[in-house]
Amino acid sequence: MTEQRVLCDLEQGVFQVTINNPEKLNALDSAIIGALEEAFRRATDDPEVRAVVLTGAGPKAFVAGADITELQVLDPSRVEPFVQRAHRLMDGIESCGKPVIAAVNGYALGGGLELAMACHLRIASSTALLGLPEVKLALLPGYGGTQRLPRLVGRGKALMMMLTGEPVTAAEALASGLVNRVVEPDELEATVQQLARKLANSAPIALRAILDAVLRGGEMPGPEGLAHERRWFVDICATEDMREGTAAFVEKRKAQFRGR
């Protein structure tokens, strides 16, 4: 992994992933995408990782977009594998089986917003701006934005954002459901860490089941989605964590989940 560009730290079950390219407002280039792929492979495979926080270094940007200087000189024959790699990263984040929180500490534009939308929860600074301005470069959002944004905010709002390329404020993003919570800039880190620790102390199999039932099951026709949920419920009732959780509730004590 390119440690200088993507910093990783695991503490008490919370895996912090920081994009460290502040001189370019944490713009995504090939090296950073590769480093993020590796980071999220680790998050997926490491049982010690219970929750993930993704953010950008510095006070100005989560990720201000893709590295346009790299896109500008990209050979047309390389475009498809380039975009496939970005899709693989976004899909890997969404399907990693651990709850991922985007701490949106500033600009989340273009590929940056697409990265945030691949996360399961988004907590934004009140000063954040979020948008998909690709149309202004004669592009379309190509890292999953045309699919994820309508699912989050509805087709009409998503089309307005993409066709005009104009960003929305954090307050507007909250009102539309694009982010889950907005806090003052000096409260963002503490708020996100508190939420991440809460998730890290929850039952990991149950968290994975909820994520999969919503994300995969939500793409299925109604009866199939319900059957998918039902299979998870049957499986989870056979886990040690379920027995521990129900016992702790009856005994009025804090449960100790082991992911088994």
* CB-count burial class (<10 Å; 0-12, 13-18, 19+) for 187: middle
pLDDT for res 1: 42
Every domain of the chain and the residues it spans: 6-200, 204-251
pLDDT for res 105: 95
CA 74 to chain centre: 27
pLDDT for res 218: 85
pLDDT for res 75: 80
Which residues are known catalytic residues? 114, 134
Residues 259, 205: contact at Cβ < 8 Å?
yes
pLDDT for res 154: 96
pLDDT for res 118: 98
| Alpha-carbon torsion, ordered 215, 256, 241, 52, to 10 deg | 20
Domain 204-251 has CATH 3.30.70: no
**How many other C-beta atoms can be found within 10 angstroms of the C-beta atom of residue 34?**
16
Residues 108, 62: contact at Cβ < 8 Å?
yes
Percentage of the chain modeled with pLDDT above 70? 99
pLDDT for res 248: 87
CATH class for the region spanning 6-200: alpha beta
As a whole number of angstroms, the distance between CA 107 and CA 70 comes to 20
pLDDT for res 69: 82
Q: What are the residue ranges in the chain where pLDDT is below 50?
A: 1-2
As a whole number of angstroms, the distance between CA 152 and CA 132 comes to 14
For 242, the 3-state DSSP assignment is: helix
The percent helix, strand, coil of the chain (3-state, each to 5) is 55, 15, 30
